Amino acid sequence: MAYEEIVVKKPLPLIALPCLSVAAFLLFWEWIVVSGTVPSVLLAPPSQVFTVFMDKLGNPNPDGAILAVHAWTSLQEAFIGYSLSLLVGIPLGLAMGWFRIVEGLIRPIFELIRPIPPIAWIPLTVFWFGIGLTGKVFIIWIAGIVPCVINSYVGVRMTQPTLIQMARTYGATDWQIFHQLCIPSALPMVFGALQIALAYCWTNLVGAELLASDTGLGYLITMGGRLGRPDIVVLGMVCVGISGAILGFIIDCVERRLLAGIRR
């Protein structure tokens, strides 16, 4: 019985269809504005957004900074907040899943904090940290930590009980079972958390910037609104969308590499 590795080619429709749907979406969008179905004061067509994009690459007016500065500010805040939430949330969730003491101590506090929308922390963070980087990082951290803890916790809890029994009969210690069995079996859930936390962080970042900041993509959107420039608003939204999608894609690639055995 010989087993060989088989390479399966991706069928053409799977490559072609996403391109088609994006192209159709852009054409439709352009058409409804150009044809006058939606007045151009309310929505900018993609062609105009593209023009503004090219312009904003080098022009700080009318909102005070070029696009790269806005994007850089947002990415920085998101990256720090996101990393901190993974760093704290995942180990905490994993430990809560396996060690009863940790669960007993942390769970009640966590359950109380979880239902509070991260945006509700904004007034307090403005008192504590002002409108600089730290306050926004804090909001993003709060937003991202929730899915990290929950998914890691559930992931550990879902470890197949017979696997644990099997390890016990070989005399494995609690710690061995935790890091040799529970953590690997929680990994698919943890990677799910990376995606969800990213989405939470990114949306709450924009929320935080809408209220209190002086640069960033969220700020760009607010300024566009105040100045009555739908093209700038849409540009900000498109940038948030595209950069979020790229980050998601990167995480997806990493996941596929690491979880070869589980996902195949």
Partner 1 sequence: MGNNESHVKIRVNNLTKRFGDLTVLDKICFEIKTGELVAIVGPTGCGKTTFLNTLSKLMPATDGDILIDGEEASPRKHNISYVFQEPTCLPWRTVRENVAYGMEVKGIPKKERMERTDRIMELVGLSSCANLYPNQVSASMMQRIAVSRAFAVEPDLLLMDEPYGQLDVKLRYYLEDELISLWQKLKSTVLFVTHNIEEAVYVAERILVLSNKPTCVKAEITVDLERPRSFLDPQFMEIRHQVTELIRWW
Q: Toward partner 1, which CB reaches closer, 163 or 196?
A: 163
Query: Interface with partner 1 includes 256 (CB under 8 A)?
Result: no
- 3-state class (DSSP) for residue 243: helix
Query: Interface with partner 1 includes 158 (CB under 8 A)?
Result: no
| One residue of 47, 165, 174, 249 binding partner 1 per CB under 8 A | 165
Query: Interface with partner 1 includes 176 (CB under 8 A)?
Result: yes
Q: What's the rounded Cα separation, in Å, for the pair 220 and 63?
A: 7
> Which residue from 14, 17, 46, 41 is spatially nearest to 29, judged by alpha carbons?
46
Whether 45 and 30 have beta carbons less than 8 Å apart is answered as yes
Query: Interface with partner 1 includes 42 (CB under 8 A)?
Result: no
Rounded to 10 deg, the angle between the 183-211 and 67-98 helix axes is 140
Whether 154 and 182 have beta carbons less than 8 Å apart is answered as no
Residue indicated by tokens 């409804």: 32
Query: Interface with partner 1 includes 107 (CB under 8 A)?
Result: no
List helix spans (H) across the chain: 12-34, 46-56, 67-98, 100-113, 122-129, 133-157, 161-169, 174-177, 183-211, 217-226, 230-258, 260-263
Q: Toward partner 1, which CB reaches closer, 6 or 12?
A: 6
Query: Interface with partner 1 includes 264 (CB under 8 A)?
Result: yes
Query: Interface with partner 1 includes 261 (CB under 8 A)?
Result: yes
| One residue of 69, 163, 196, 238 binding partner 1 per CB under 8 A | 163
Q: How far is the CB of 169 from partner 1 (least distance, A)?
A: 4
Query: Interface with partner 1 includes 192 (CB under 8 A)?
Result: no
Query: Interface with partner 1 includes 14 (CB under 8 A)?
Result: no
Query: Interface with partner 1 includes 168 (CB under 8 A)?
Result: yes
Per CB under 8 A, the segment of 79-87, 93-101, 155-163, 243-251 that binds partner 1 is: 155-163
Whether 121 and 135 have beta carbons less than 8 Å apart is answered as no
Residues near partner 1 (CB under 8 A): 1-3, 160, 162-163, 165-172, 176, 180-181, 184-185, 187, 259-262, 264
